[in-house]
């Protein structure tokens, strides 16, 4: 096959692919805008959050053990007596620490899957605000519960921030409920309820941080999208500015 024939074949193949994609798009019940939100490309802020968590974990494993509570306290894990003694930075630093590889892997897998959805909808910096804000709200609620129970438990993890991202996804689905099948929303609600219930039954899970993060994520996402009828279209306008 000569070069001219090869180029013609490539053009024909490209036309076939475009026709196939167009046919599938017409048969789909999901509009392009919503599809861009929930099936968009990977975003750098979400990847940056994952990268920071992973790098910190690797460094800590080289220097000690992330399953040692004393070592975790040295690196900024949250604990009621330390925070009330003026070390308020622990409400922030504890979001980037994890107890062991499985704790890290579970959190980062959820963040990789859901973080892009929120970042596609609200933009990079508002996504960061939702992530950090939800984590702080979760840690504050956890601190409040520890004060009430006089608990000295050492806690760490990005779960509060990640539940905030899950709350953000829930808000986006509700705002676009005409384009999202009701069963999808019900399944997400079911997952949230089951995981929170499981957390309430497990002694080693900081369920208060999960609930606080979820509430924080819902509130922040609502605030960031309150005037947006179409989250993806407004995101394009935001990026253009």
Residues labelled as active-site residues: 159, 210
Question: Is the torsion defined by CA of 92, 93, 96, 102 positive or negative?
Answer: negative
**Cα 138 to the chain's mean position, in Å?**
14
The answer to whether 156 and 90 have CB atoms below 8 angstroms apart is: no
149: closest CA among 187, 100, 93, 203? 203
Structure tokens at 118: 């929120």
The answer to whether 156 and 93 have CB atoms below 8 angstroms apart is: no
CA distance 27 to 65: 53
- The DSSP call for residue 95 is G
Structure tokens at 61: 């494993």
The answer to whether 95 and 158 have CB atoms below 8 angstroms apart is: yes
If one counts every other C-beta atom within 10 angstroms of the C-beta of residue 47, the result is 15
């Amino acid at each position: 096959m000569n070069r001219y024939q090869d180029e013609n074949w490539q053009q024909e193949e490209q036309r076939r692919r475009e026709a196939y994609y167009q046919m599938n798009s017409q048969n789909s019940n999901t509009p392009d805008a919503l599809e861009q939100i929930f099936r968009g490309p990977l975003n750098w802020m979400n990847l940056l959050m994952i990268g920071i968590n992973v790098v910190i974990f690797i460094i800590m494993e080289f220097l000690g053990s992330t399953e040692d509570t004393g070592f975790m306290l040295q690196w900024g894990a949250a604990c009621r007596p330390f925070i009330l003694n003026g070390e308020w930075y622990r409400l922030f630093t504890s979001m980037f620490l994890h107890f062991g590889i499985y704790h890290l892997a579970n959190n980062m897998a959820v963040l990789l899957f859901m973080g892009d959805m929120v970042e596609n909808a609200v933009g990079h910096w508002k996504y960061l605000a939702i992530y950090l804000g939800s984590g702080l709200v979760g840690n504050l609620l956890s601190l409040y519960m520890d004060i009430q129970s006089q608990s000295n438990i050492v806690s760490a993890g990005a779960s509060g921030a990640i539940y905030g991202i899950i709350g953000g996804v829930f808000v986006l689905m509700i705002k676009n409920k005409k384009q999202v099948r009701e069963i999808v929303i019900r399944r997400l609600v079911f997952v949230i309820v089951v995981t929170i219930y499981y957390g309430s039954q497990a002694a080693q899970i900081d369920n208060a941080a999960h609930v606080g993060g979820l509430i924080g994520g819902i509130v922040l996402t609502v605030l960031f999208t309150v005037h947006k009828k179409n989250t993806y279209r407004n995101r394009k306008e935001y990026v253009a500015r």
